[in-house]
Structure 1
Amino acid sequence: MKPDYKLVAKAKYIHANADLASEIWHEVYKRYYPAKQLDTLVETLQSADAIEADIDNDVNYFLVVLGGKTIGYFAWKMENTALHLLHLYLKPEYRGKALGRDILATCERLARGEGRGRLYCEVHTKCLPVLQFFKTKGYRVLGPAEAEAAGIPMQLTTLEKML
């Protein structure tokens, strides 16, 4: 069964995306950040207000729906020569089932269709399975990308694929 991608534009979908982001981020990042820092990161980067601000800055968020259930989300932004994949998250029980691969392929097709020559993303450096996922899909590591949100340092690795 193929998932549907629902564009996040209305307030109820923004709030649903924020709730889902909080759930997934707390599950994924709990081993890398203390609870208080993680709460701050989620509030700063994935709250309804943060998502709305992203949308106002041309970021496109999509909920991933499978069999009527919302199982994840992704977000991207077109830049000069590239599609920047900002988020790609699935609930744990849906990982490893080729859904991420399909979302990535969709983003690559979109980038090509818009005349962009590459797709890039940043992944938390300690999320080794995610780094490996991108590498197996033809992405190469460009190097570390230090970032900070609300004074909290984030260790990221930039990956790219020429299309």
Structure 2
Amino acid sequence: MKPDYKLVAKAKYIHATADLASELWHEVYKRYYPAKQLDTLVEELQSADAIEADIDNDVNYFLVVLGGKTIGYFAWKMENTALHLMHLYLKPEYRGKALGRDIVLSCERLARGEGKGRVWCTVHAKALPVQQFFKALRYRNLKPAEQENGTVPRDEVVFEHTLG
């Protein structure tokens, strides 16, 4: 069964995405950040207000729905020469089932169709399984990510795939 991708635009979907983001970020990042820092990160980057601000800045959020159940979300933004895959999170029981790969490949097709030459993302420097996931898709680790604004320092690396 293939998932559906539901564009997040209406307030109820923005709030649903923020709730899901909080759940998934707390599960994924609890090993990397103390609880208070993690709460701050979620509030700064994935609260309903933050997601709405992203959408206002041309970020496209999608809920991933499979069999009527919301199982994750992803977000991307078109830039000058690239598609920036900003978020890709799936509930634990849906990881390792090629769903994330299909989302990344869909983003690559979209980028090609828009005339972009690459897709890039950032990954936590200690999230080795996620890094392996991107390496298996022919992404290469370029460099440490520049620190974005925010109160919590984030240890991330940039992964990029040049589209052929």
TM-score where L is the length of structure 2: 0.98
Residues 25, 149 of structure 1: alpha-carbon distance in 2 compared, 3 angstrom cutoff: farther
Partner of 1:115: 115
Partner of 2:52: 52
Q: Distance in 2 between matches of 1:147 and 1:30?
A: 20
1:65-110 CA-partner distances (Å, limit 9, x unpaired): 0000000000000000000000000000000000000000100000
TM-score where L is the length of structure 1: 0.98
Partner of 1:139: 139
Partner of 1:6: 6
User: Gaps spanning 5+ residues in structure 1: where?
Assistant: none
Partner-residue secondary structure (3-state), 1:157: strand
User: Gaps spanning 5+ residues in structure 2: where?
Assistant: none
> Could you tell me the percent identity over the aligned residues?
80
Q: Distance in 2 between matches of 1:119 and 1:103?
A: 12
Partner of 1:97: 97
Task: Indicate conservation of the 8 Å contact 1:146/1:154, yes or no.
Answer: no
Q: Distance in 2 between matches of 1:146 and 1:84?
A: 14
Which has the larger displacement, 150-159 or 21-30? 150-159
Letter in 2 for 1:89: Y
Q: Distance in 1 between matches of 2:26 and 2:149?
A: 16
More strand by share: 1
Task: Indicate conservation of the 8 Å contact 1:44/1:149, yes or no.
Answer: no
Alignment of 1:64-103 (within 5 A): 64-103=64-103
RMSD: 0.8
CA drift of 1:151 comes to 1.8
Partner-residue secondary structure (3-state), 2:110: helix
Q: Distance in 1 between matches of 2:150 and 2:134?
A: 27
Which has the larger displacement, 143-152 or 75-84? 143-152
In the alignment of these two chains, the number of paired residues is 163
Task: Indicate conservation of the 8 Å contact 1:29/1:38, yes or no.
Answer: yes
| 1:36 maps to 2:36 | yes
Partner of 1:156: 156
Partner-residue secondary structure (3-state), 1:143: strand
Runs of 4+ deviating beyond 4 Å: none
